């Protein structure tokens, strides 16, 4: 599978000429439109890796350019028809179709899978080099070597249109407005440097992973034996890099899965904690409402007790006054004294006063009983609120557990089992007092285990010192 890399890109304008084709023309060739690929004797449909039509993407780039403006000497002007607006990038794999077809079927299928993986990496490389500008990518199997076509360009209009060919950008920045021979040399050197950087970057990010050399043997005047030796070395490097990439991918997947699972447990536990907090808040509001009602009842009872006290004091005063009057009248002998006793004025006054007093006292006792009931209910709600609050504090302590304080949680699946235990405890729908007891007992057990581990480590160190 070894060889040397080939990757190249070129910019195209809306209109073509005798020297260069238009962007739409190369898009038709990449799509294998009829009559647009004379060099391909047996055309096959492209295998699209990104997008579904080079022509559609090229037309969108042209439409965006038509609606764009270029800033020229402080003025906004239309983009020139011969300005380069899109890039066609081609990368080829060193294994030929002929060699591929000559392989045994298992080896051939493995080689095809590797070529497709190489093509995906080439697309990723292009997306890194030209962020948000890669529109379509397709793999072709109908020429001498498997190769990938990538169309690059902006489909969004711009008020300050810029060329996207990085080599041309480097040339323009280096040369500026200097049209002399020196200025042109500066521009050409900058162009060459940038394109060399592009080739080196492709080799570092793609080619080396598939045993591809940066340059071919003729370019470096290597003998056939030296070239084969280099290819063998490159194959070994590529296999090592591929294994490393595969291991890194597996580790990333495993870590991502574990992180997602842990996050799911944490989220569900936090949702339960939020639910419990809301429930506690609702209970708190009920308690506050009951307390307010109890306070009102207490104030009302105090007012009525005060009224009853005043009434009782008035009754005592009236009774004393009546007794004084009776005593005064009883001193007289005669018809008036006997009439007073006969009519029972004193008794009737006393009975009426006592009846009124009893009525007020009965009403007062009823209010006192209601107040006592409200106070008992208030104490019960306060107890429940305290229990819920204590349970939430224990839950928060368990959720904020640090593996630095409890290193035993670094053991395999230990942290996951910790969160699963908390989730199961909350899902059991137990009373807050029971949840707090079990959480506190669980945390005490963790501390005991940590202490035992510390003692064991100390003993081990002491033995080593001896």
- Reported as a pLDDT band with limits 50, 70 and 90, residue 220 is very low
pLDDT (0 to 100) of residue 344: 59
Q: State pLDDT tens for residues 31-41.
A: 998 766 777 87
- Reported as a pLDDT band with limits 50, 70 and 90, residue 223 is low
φ, ψ dihedrals at 71, nearest 5° = -85, 110
3-163 CATH: 3.30.930.30
> What is the residue-averaged pLDDT of the chain?
76
The length of the chain, given as a count of residues:
466
φ, ψ dihedrals at 180, nearest 5° = -75, 170
φ, ψ dihedrals at 75, nearest 5° = -115, 150
Report the SS3 class of residue 163: coil
Whether the CA torsion 401, 404, 408, 409 is positive or negative: it is: positive
**Residue 283 pLDDT exceeds 80:** no
Residue partners of 6: CB distance under 8 A and separation at least 6: 90, 91, 92, 94
Strand partners, 207: none
Residue partners of 262: CB distance under 8 A and separation at least 6: 415, 416, 419
- CA atoms of 165 and 10, how far apart (whole Å): 8
pLDDT (0 to 100) of residue 116: 92
Number of other CB atoms surrounding residue 185 within 10 Å: 13
- CA atoms of 195 and 167, how far apart (whole Å): 6
| 162 vs 224: which has the higher pLDDT | 162
| 451 vs 85: which has the higher pLDDT | 85
How far are the Cα atoms of 50, 65, 108, 340, 346 from residue 320, in angstroms, in the given order?
A: 110, 113, 125, 17, 11
pLDDT, mean of residues 309-322: 63
């Amino acid at each position: 599978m070894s060889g040397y890399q080939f990757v190249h890109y070129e910019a195209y304008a809306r209109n073509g000429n005798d020297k260069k084709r238009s962007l739409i023309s190369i898009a038709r060739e990449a799509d294998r439109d009829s009559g647009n690929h004379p060099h391909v004797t047996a055309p096959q449909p492209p295998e699209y890796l990104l997008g579904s039509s080079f022509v559609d993407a090229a037309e969108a780039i042209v439409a965006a350019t038509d609606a764009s403006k270029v800033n020229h000497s402080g003025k906004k002007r239309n983009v020139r028809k011969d300005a380069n607006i899109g890039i066609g990038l081609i990368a080829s794999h060193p294994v030929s179709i002929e060699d591929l077809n000559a392989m045994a079927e298992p080896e051939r299928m493995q080689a095809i899978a590797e070529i497709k993986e190489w093509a995906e990496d080439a697309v990723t490389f292009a997306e890194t080099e030209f962020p948000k500008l890669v529109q379509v990518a397709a793999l072709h199997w109908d020429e001498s070597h498997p190769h990938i076509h990538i169309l690059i360009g902006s489909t969004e209009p711009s008020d300050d249109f810029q060329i996207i060919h990085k080599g041309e950008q480097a040339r323009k920045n280096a040369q500026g407005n200097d049209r002399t021979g020196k200025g042109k040399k500066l521009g050409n050197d900058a162009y060459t440097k940038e394109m060399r950087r592009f080739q080196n970057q492709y080799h570092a990010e793609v080619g080396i992973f598939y045993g591809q050399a940066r340059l071919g043997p003729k370019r470096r005047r290597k003998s056939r034996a030296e070239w084969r030796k280099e290819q063998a070395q490159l194959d070994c490097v590529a296999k090592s890099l591929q294994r490393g990439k595969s291991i890194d991918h597996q580790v990333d997947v495993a870590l991502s899965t574990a992180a997602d699972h842990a996050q799911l447990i944490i989220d569900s536990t936090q949702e339960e904690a939020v639910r419990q907090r809301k429930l506690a808040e609702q209970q708190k509001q009920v308690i506050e409402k009951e307390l307010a009602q109890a306070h009102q009842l207490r104030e009302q009872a105090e007012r009525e007790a005060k009224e009853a006290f005043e009434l009782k004091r008035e009754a005592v005063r009236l009774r004393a006054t009546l007794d004084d009057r009776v005593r005064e009248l009883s001193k007289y002998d005669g018809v008036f004294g006997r009439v007073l006793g006969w009519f029972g004025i004193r008794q009737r006054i006393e009975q009426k006063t006592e009846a009124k007093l009893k009525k007020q006292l009965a009403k007062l006792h009823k209010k006192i009983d209601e107040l006592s009931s409200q106070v008992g209910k208030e104490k019960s709600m306060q107890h429940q609120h305290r229990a819920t609050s204590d349970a939430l504090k224990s839950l928060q302590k368990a959720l904020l557990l640090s593996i630095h304080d409890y290193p035993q949680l670094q053991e395999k699946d230990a942290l996951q089992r910790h969160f699963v235990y908390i989730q199961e405890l909350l899902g059991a729908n137990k009373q807050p007092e029971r949840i707090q007891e079990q959480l506190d007992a669980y945390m005490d057990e963790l501390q005991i285990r940590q202490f035992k581990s510390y003692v064991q480590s100390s003993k081990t160190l002491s033995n080593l010192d001896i």
